[in-house]
Amino acid sequence: MKVAVSVPDTVFQAAERVSHRMRVSRSRLYAKAVEAYVKLHSEEDITEQLNKVYAGNSSTIGPALEAASLEVLRRERWE
């Protein structure tokens, strides 16, 4: 997909230097940069969504489960 974007001259010049140093086309450099940016922010979205899901749930366990867990730990051999 072809797109047209505007970037400040300083960013363009820095990107040109990086693309020459890495021996990749400008298009490839910009595509990889956008891909990395999208991945970074999609992971933030996942964390945010999980935080919303768990925000309404209590993180405590019931007394019966707590007692059973403690009993299992008491029986465990600790070395």
Sequence-separated (6 or more) residues with CB below 8 Å from residue 32: 24
pTM of the predicted protein model: 0.55
pLDDT digits (tens, 9 = 90+) for 20-78: 999 999 999 999 999 999 988 787 788 888 888 888 777 788 889 999 999 999 888 88
pLDDT at 14 over 90: yes
Tell me the domain boundaries of the chain. Answer: 9-75
Tell me how far apart the alpha carbons of residues 59 and 20 are, in angstroms, rounded to a whole number.
52
The two three-digit tokens of residue 36, written as one number: 């990395």
CB of 19 closer than 8 Å to CB of 29: yes
What integer pLDDT is reported at residue 21 of this predicted model?
A: 96
pLDDT at 79 over 80: no
